[in-house]
Amino acid sequence: MQAYLLDFANFMLRWLHVIAAIAWIGESIYFVMLDNGLKKPKAAEDRDKGVFGEMWAVHGGGFYHNQKYATAPAKLPEDLHWSFWKSYTTWLSGFALFVLLYMANPSFYLVNPGSSWEWAAGMSGWQANVLALLFLAGGWVVYNELCKRISPDMTRDGLLSVAVAVMMVVVAYLSTQMFAGRAAFLLTGAVMATAMSANVFFWIIPGQRRMVNAMKAGETPNPLDGKRGKQRSVHNTYFTLPVVLLMISNHYSFAYSHEQAWVIMSLFIFAGALIRQFFVLMHAGRIQPAYPVAGVALIAVAFWVAAPSPSPAADPDRAAVGLEEAHAIIETRCASCHASQPSDPGFSAPPAGVAYDSPQQTATQRAQIQQVVASGYMPLGNMTGMTDEERAAIAAWSQ
């Protein structure tokens, strides 16, 4: 019953997380489109009022006229729309999911027993939890310091973009060394997601509040508040597609169980940013196909890097292993979780719906089983004690 309750809570939190993320990302993409699609106002009276740009649009059977003021309108309405709760709800629900799924079972999901770093491979569960929290917090601190030190007045944002890109490669590498593969992809995405939500909480909304308060007091708002908010909003825009991809990556072990997982992850991050750049420019009326072409090229490189070997790395002197022997190993080492009725108390249903109740079911998953067993990713944390001899037998399984 406890496993069922955890699964149901996971189900509902995922629903909330996805709904909040769709609302936040959708609104963010809309405002980027609106900002880049603004045209100089045609009416002299609008220009005299301080209107910087405008956009006419049609949607849902109606016409819309959006206007943006360069500094501030003569009078602010009381019902000013603010955009922040969607961001906070997305991060809080995502963090709750991380606690429920990963931090509640760190030995399963966080510890990387195959790490080349001895201290990381030997971490206890609580140590892995602490390290994961420090990893998230440290990612935000480093990113925020880069922004403040490299381009505090928004005059060197190009150099800052390069620094943030290098930072994400380092984050990808460190995460794959310190944490289990699936958690590494998730935590790298979470570093970006934390930066996105923290940008809203610490910079964008406070700056907007200072601007509004200054206007209400009859003072001129500090233009740096608007520029800083714009800078962080732009970063959030380019983080969006990579974060979404990394958050859904836990279903695809070919990526996170690969020995070059950090390279694959980095390629996907840059591909997402390049593809997003195409749409950002398109909203401004500039069609630059080189960006999506480059993004797809990076995805193709990731496909090539992640591709499995034509055949498992089996000992050539070892006799081929048949289905019956392979299934016996799987039944002993994997079926406590991957069964229609798991015996492991942490699962109420087989993970990802994959069950090995019969040899026939096991046979349908041969390629994936060999991949995750050879990489050491499965069994999770090797909690069932699969031996090197058993891994070699799975590698030699040919039919």
Which token pair is 173?
């590498």
- Give the least confident one: 264-268, 309-313, 344-348, 395-399: 309-313
User: Which of the two residues, 30 and 371, has the higher pLDDT score?
Assistant: 30
pLDDT at 359: 86
pLDDT at 212: 87
Mean pLDDT estimate for the chain: 89
pLDDT tens digit string along 234-247?
999 999 999 999 99
pLDDT grade for 226, boundaries at 50, 70 and 90: confident
CA nearest 379: which of 187, 183, 180?
180
Q: Tell me the mean pLDDT in the region 302-329.
A: 76
User: Which of the two residues, 135 and 373, has the higher pLDDT score?
Assistant: 135
Q: Are strands 51-59 and 62-69 parallel, antiparallel or unpaired?
A: antiparallel
Q: Tell me the mean pLDDT in the region 57-72.
A: 86
Residue 308 scores a pLDDT above 80: no
**pTM of the prediction?**
0.85
Residue 199 scores a pLDDT above 70: yes
Residue 34 scores a pLDDT above 70: yes
pLDDT grade for 254, boundaries at 50, 70 and 90: confident
Give the C-alpha distances (Å, rounded to integers) separating 299 from 81, 148, 166, 338.
38, 32, 19, 31
pLDDT at 162: 97
pLDDT tens digit string along 378-388?
887 777 888 88
CA nearest 264: which of 169, 332, 330?
169
- What is the identity of the amino acid at 254? F
